[in-house]
């Protein structure tokens, strides 16, 4: 009731699946994971002689810190942050206490966050968050929508539909083909999303391993960094400033922006088909369509989808435009923007839920689709014209233009026109068959 954002209020349950990836607790947990994986990597490098190799018991204890991380533990980190006024430093202090309690590691805790800048931890944490959210939630949901649309396209592949170009009656099509347009578009974006990989920046204050080399000049830190970033499933950035330049966030934002735009286009088309009577909506007992007009069954699911796809795109667009730009070696304006990544994904997921709900309630009104098509026999002009051209009839286009352009003609007039043509009997029969609509 008192939430500022509807994502955490009205729609909280609908986006619950994203909380393990984009909540404040999740961000802290991913930071903890990165710090501990780094500590383990340092311990396994023979060149870092002052940090002993971890034994099996110590490795298990470190793993338990990650596995058992909870909201309670996240609150402990936040309590430290209230003193430090620095979120990553709070994670470091929290882990020093946790790791220091493990037998044999009390004197090794200075290797927590060794040589790192906050961005080394943050960008890797965000990379993992985005990867996991795409894999666990976003890609499966998109796949499901594509599956539903593909099923409808096959089921309605032979149902004829009056097409509209420029809002005017045009060449007949089928409902199945029109839905397949969206299936093909989405599959292309889905394929690009599958190939996408977040990047990982590593290497200290200005990404040249200066602090690392000061402590251990003989260690090949560039190779160490590449290996470590790859171990997290991220693509190592060879050269950067203090920060990940965020081209990866821009890439996934553009990809999801296109997915949103395609689905927004679909939402508007389905809304229009409902308005035309081609699609019917399932009537849910107890639901109300209007506070004053009891007959209304409004296409609100597609309207909600349209609105939330738009909100998601507004954020994704801003990420792509703003995040790749940073003054010199870094400024902090990216930090507060990145914290809203979860909101963009949240509006995307919310829109998908509305769209799928709407799709589950539609069916084709075959009679309405057929009547609409039969009410516009002028759309047969293109087909008749092509048969005339094939048979060498001069001025075929002009003949049909004179008969049909701007005119409300009947099927009877079309058939009479066909009968008047100087064509072989077989061709006339062919045209009459087409005119059956």
Task: Please report the beta strands in 107-185, taking only residues with DSSP state E, as ranges in sequence order.
Answer: 160-165, 168-174
Query: Do 41 and 228 form a contact (C-beta atoms < 8 A)?
Result: yes
**Integer Cα distance of 364 and 367 in angstroms:** 9
**Integer Cα distance of 125 and 88 in angstroms:** 11
Instruction: Determine whether 430 is an active site residue.
Output: no
Instruction: Determine whether 70 is an active site residue.
Output: no
SS3 of residue 69 by DSSP: coil
Query: Do 338 and 323 form a contact (C-beta atoms < 8 A)?
Result: yes
**Integer Cα distance of 45 and 35 in angstroms:** 16
CA dihedral sign, ordered 65, 66, 70, 74: positive
Cα dihedral angle (418, 423, 428, 430), rounded to 10 degrees? -120
Catalytic residue, chosen from 46, 166, 291, 420, is 166
How many beta carbons lie within 10 A of that of residue 357, not counting itself?
15
Catalytic residue, chosen from 5, 231, 290, 333, is 290
How many beta carbons lie within 10 A of that of residue 194, not counting itself?
11
Q: Which residues are the active-site residues?
A: 166, 290
């Amino acid at each position: 009731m008192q939430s500022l954002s509807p994502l955490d209020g009205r729609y909280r349950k609908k986006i619950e699946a994203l909380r393990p990836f984009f909540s404040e607790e999740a961000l802290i947990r991913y930071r903890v994971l990165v710090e501990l994986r780094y500590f383990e990597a340092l311990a396994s490098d023979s060149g870092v002689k002052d940090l002993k190799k971890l034994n099996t018991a110590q490795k298990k204890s470190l793993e338990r810190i990650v596995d058992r991380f909870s909201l309670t533990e996240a609150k402990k980190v936040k309590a430290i942050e209230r003193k430090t006024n620095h979120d990553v430093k709070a994670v470091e202090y929290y882990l020093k206490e946790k790791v220091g309690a493990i037998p044999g590691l009390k004197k090794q805790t200075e290797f927590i966050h060794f040589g790192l800048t906050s961005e080394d931890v943050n960008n890797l944490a965000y990379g993992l968050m985005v990867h996991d959210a795409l894999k666990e939630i976003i890609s499966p949901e998109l796949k499901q929508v594509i599956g539903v649309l593909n099923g409808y396209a096959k089921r309605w592949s032979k149902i004829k539909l009056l097409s509209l170009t420029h809002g005017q009656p045009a060449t007949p099509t089928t409902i199945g083909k029109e839905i397949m347009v969206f299936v093909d578009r989405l599959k292309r974006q889905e394929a690009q999303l599958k190939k996408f990989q977040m990047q990982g920046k590593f290497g200290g204050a200005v990404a040249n391993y200066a602090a690392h080399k000061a402590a251990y000049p003989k260690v090949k830190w560039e190779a160490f960094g590449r290996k470590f970033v790859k171990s997290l499933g991220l693509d190592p950035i060879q050269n950067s400033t203090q920060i990940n330049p965020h081209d990866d966030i821009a890439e996934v934002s553009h990809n999801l922006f296109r997915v949103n735009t395609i689905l927004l286009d679909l939402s508007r088309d389905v809304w229009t088909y409902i308005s035309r009577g081609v699609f019917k909506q399932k009537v849910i007992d107890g639901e109300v369509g209007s506070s004053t007009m009891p007959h209304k069954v409004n296409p609100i699911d597609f309207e909600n989808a349209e609105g939330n796809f738009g909100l998601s795109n507004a954020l994704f667009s801003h990420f792509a435009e703003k995040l790749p730009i940073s003054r010199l070696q870094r400024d902090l304006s990216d930090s507060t923007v990145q914290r809203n990544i979860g909101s963009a994904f949240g509006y995307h997921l919310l829109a998908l839920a509305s769209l799928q709900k709407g799709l589950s309630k539609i069916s084709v009104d075959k009679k309405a689709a057929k009547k609409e098509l039969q009410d516009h026999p002028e759309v047969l002009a293109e087909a008749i014209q092509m048969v005339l051209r094939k048979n060498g009839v001069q001025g075929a286009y002009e003949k049909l233009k004179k008969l049909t352009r701007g005119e409300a003609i009947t099927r009877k007039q079309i058939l009479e026109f066909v009968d008047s043509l100087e064509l072989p009997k077989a061709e006339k029969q062919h045209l009459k068959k087409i005119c059956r609509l």
